[in-house]
Structure 1
Amino acid sequence: MSDQLSQKINRKGLTVWRIHNGLSTLFLIIATIVLFVILKTNDFNMNYVWIGVGIIVLHLLFFVVVFPYIRWKRWGYEVREAEIEIQRGLFIVKRTLIPMARVQHVDTTQGPLLRMYGVADLTISTAATVHIIPAIALNEADELRRRISTLARMAKDDV
């Protein structure tokens, strides 16, 4: 599984993932502050504060810096005439082949954060599953949606 797929997701996807995870970390920070305010007593041990700060720093390091980068680096996809191949993963790399004849429909999706960075998620639906290729440049996602739709129609006509 060492061969890399030819298409990578947009680098802006890395930024979107980092912002999303940073917002989650902000929730963790607020929850930690509220917990410390509730638990604060006269004999409050400051070591708990340092433990909380350490946990938040580790969370920031791993979930905002390291894990999104690894995830972005491993993502790849290729659209061929007969199939779509997707590679993804953080610790375990997973590769999926989607036969064109199984594709039922293809969508592009944009939330506010994706829209702000000019990228979209491409959703490929089959009868059994839904596969998402995240953070593709908007014009590329639209072109890819049309191409997959055409290839899927041709594959079903051949069957």
Structure 2
Amino acid sequence: MGAPVQMAEPAYPPSRSAPLVWALGAAIPWLAAVFAQLIWFVLDPRMPWLHAAVGAATVLGVLVSVVVVPIWRYRVHRWEISPQAVFTRSGWLVQERRIAPISRVQTVDTYRGPLDRLFGLSNVTVTTASSAGAVRIVALDAPVADRVVAQLTDIAALGGHDAT
């Protein structure tokens, strides 16, 4: 049995555009809530204290989910690929660190939602022979994601193992 592999924290952050994309994605549902509150106020202006309380709660929710969370996520999210494994660290309130051995990689996929496409980002999903689920590397610049997919494909092919 060989020496254990020493694992450092993953080194690479998401794209610098990631916080903006995450903030815009979080803002969309809040816009619906603000619109609903405005309609409520126009249709039923009674109890201004209740409208003010709901409005204050909405402002607090917007500040946390649109400003604080994207910045915190960017500070936490990291990824790295070595010849032995794919490493990710993600989350904001609850943080998760995932390490997937290359020998267990089954598929490598990319995903680009509408905001991702607008900002030139892509997400990479590495499916492994694990019940814990796929490893996701989120909010990469599209050319970086393409290189990651090519690198993982090359490394997995060199191993020549069946990951099942």
Q: Same fold (TM over 0.5)?
A: yes
CA distance in 2 between counterparts of 1:149 and 1:31 reads: 48
Q: Give how far 1:68 is off.
A: 1.1
2:33 is matched with 28
> Alpha-carbon deviation of 1:79?
0.2
- Which amino acid in 1 is paired with 2:105? V
State yes or no: 1:45 paired with 2:47: yes
2:150 to 146, 149, 156: 146
Match of 1:97 in 2: 99
TM-score w.r.t. length of structure 1: 0.88
Matched, 1:125 2:130: no
Deviation at 1:49, TM superposition (A): 1.4
Identity across the alignment (%): 25
Runs of 5+ unmatched residues, structure 1: none
Give the corresponding residue for 2:76.
74
Does residue 1:134 correspond to 2:153, yes or no? no
Residue by residue over 1:30-68, the C-alpha shift from the partner in whole angstroms, topping out at 9 and shown as x without a partner, is: 222334445x26xx1110111121011101110000011
State the alpha-carbon separation in 1 of the partners of residues 127 and 30 from structure 2: 32
Q: How far is 1:152 from its partner?
A: 1.6
- The one-letter code sitting in structure 2 at the alignment partner of 1:89 is G
**Aligned counterparts of 1:56 and 1:155: Cα–Cα separation in 2:** 52
SS in 2 for 1:6: coil
Asked if structure 1 preserves the Cα contact closer than 8 Å seen for 2:98 and 2:135, the reply is no
TM-score by length of 2: 0.86
Q: 1:133 Cα deviation (Å)?
A: 1.0
Structure 1 runs, 4 residues or longer, greater than 6 Å off: none
